[in-house]
Amino acid sequence: MSVVGYYSNEMTLHLIKSYCVPSVLYGCETWYLDRHDYRRLNVLWNNSFRKICKCCWRENVSHLLFYCHTFPVSYLADLRKILFWKKALICDNVIVRTLANISKCSIGLILSKYYIQSISVNINDIKLRMWKHFVDDCAEHGRVTFY
């Protein structure tokens, strides 16, 4: 915010998504995250969105995330984990592949949260399933209205 000022525009959002989020999520593929950790990450992301869009601090930002076609940061952390383990399972290194096969159970829990059948699913299908889960969650809790 100190670089671009307090003007809400696409450039600010792009800079945050390109530089800040990867820095915050650096190494998240190996983190163990419980509900509290996911909540803290989402609060950080939501507060950034509120600041950019000049929203009230009590206002839910799910509709802003939806219309900006942006995942909540907890979804981004899960996506990074899925993609990391997906790459590890097809790695040329036997040790990395073996470790990835041992860890398949933990990644299976994340996949099941988004109703993804297997880690071998196409990357675009994974992103689409996660987006559908986000949209369904928003609609279920009345945060986004579809016309």
Asked whether residue 141 carries a pLDDT value surpassing 90, the answer given is no
Q: Which long-range contacts (CB under 8 A, 24 or more apart) does 125-132 make?
A: 126/79, 126/82, 126/83, 127/79, 130/71, 130/75, 130/78, 130/79, 131/71
pLDDT digits (tens, 9 = 90+) for 7-28: 656 778 888 888 888 998 999 9
C-beta of residue 133 within 8 angstroms of C-beta of residue 115: yes
The model's pTM is 0.84
How many whole angstroms separate alpha carbon 2 and alpha carbon 5?
5
